Amino acid sequence: MDISVIIPLYNEAESLPELTAWIERVMNENKFTYEIIFINDGSKDNSWEVIEQLQSKNSNIHGIKFRRNYGKSPALYCGFERAQGNVVITMDADLQDSPDEIPILYRMITEEGYDLVSGYKQKRYDPLSKTIPTKLFNATARLVSGIKNLHDFNCGLKAYRNEVVKSIEVYGDMHRYIPYLAKNAGYSKIGELVVHHQARKYGTSKFGISRFFHGYLDLMSLWFLSKFSYRPMHIFGLWGSLMFFIGFIAAAVLGIGKLYALSQGIPFRLITDSPYFYLSLTMMILGTQLFLTGFLAELISRTSQERNKYNIAKEI
């Protein structure tokens, strides 16, 4: 099979027939073998009934129905598990992504050798309240991930080689960082394609301003896991040892000063009267806790069955 098109959706019943007809036309014109996988993420409208009607007319259409709304990442994860096409295309169901981009994305994967190609909606039809935070968010994502050539991490229109989607786990709200997940899994040939952004035709946006705050927290979590998930002692142990050492030196300086004053008969207040004693003691306690945290995390990591599971590119 050439292409699997994965479409997560939530309350998009009005747009599904038009989107499906558009995809079918593009596939037939280019003589692609394909499948369309709709993931109904707990819609409260009649989206599932529409999917059933579409499937009865076209056996290339498949549907997955969630019991409730879990989010885009779990929907993509389920779609990735079931995708059989050599190239996997993801797109939103709101008609803001154009299926006419599919042939170009397919050629970039199959002929130009990209592992992943992300769409870039250079000209957007969104209000400034969304475009400005989006630019700031993407700039931060480029800086943290090191993927300098991507301008729109959150674009739903992406293309992947099949083995890429089988090698990554999308969870929580990590769908925004699939290129970063792919890079961490060893798929470094990541490209970008400027795509057309269409104004929403039906319904309303399902994402609010909170996604930007969640996005930054998820990005920090992903960065930390990519750097230290297999060696937590390197971060906790390092900072714990450093804090303990500074606190110990500070306490030693106070003690030496006290002994010197006593040997010279110089009046010297109690060490416990000095605020520096409590600061040094606090640093030593925090340093010990950080070190133990790293030690326990290292023990947990060593017992993980996935610790030495690597992605093998080829084997003969």
Q: In the prediction, which pLDDT does 258 show? A: 79
* Tens digit of each residue's pLDDT (9 = 90 or more) over 186-228: 898 999 999 987 766 666 665 555 566 666 777 777 777 777 6
Q: In the prediction, which pLDDT does 234 show? A: 79
Q: In the prediction, which pLDDT does 207 show? A: 56
Q: Confidence band (pLDDT; 50, 70, 90) for 295?
A: confident
How far is residue 13 CA from its own chain's centroid?
Answer: 27
Q: Alpha-carbon distance 18 to 25, whole Å? A: 11
- The structure's pTM equals 0.75
Q: Alpha-carbon distance 226 to 274, whole Å? A: 42
What letter does residue 216 receive in the DSSP assignment? H
158-161, strands of its sheet edge to edge: 61-65, 34-40, 3-9, 87-90, 158-161, 116-120, 190-194
Q: In the prediction, which pLDDT does 16 show? A: 95
Q: In the prediction, which pLDDT does 201 show? A: 67
Q: In the prediction, which pLDDT does 6 show? A: 97
Q: Which helix (H) or strand (E) holds 117?
A: strand 116-120
Q: In the prediction, which pLDDT does 83 show? A: 95
Of 90-104, 135-149, 222-236, 242-256, least confident by mean pLDDT is 222-236
- Torsion sign over Cα 239, 243, 244, 248: positive
* Tens digit of each residue's pLDDT (9 = 90 or more) over 89-111: 999 998 989 999 999 999 999 99
Both tokens of residue 75? 């929907």
Q: Confidence band (pLDDT; 50, 70, 90) for 138?
A: confident
Q: Confidence band (pLDDT; 50, 70, 90) for 121?
A: confident
Q: Are 199 and 95 in contact (CB under 8 A)?
A: no
Q: Is the pLDDT of residue 149 over 80?
A: yes
Share of the chain above pLDDT 90, in %: 49
Q: Average model confidence (pLDDT) for the chain?
A: 85
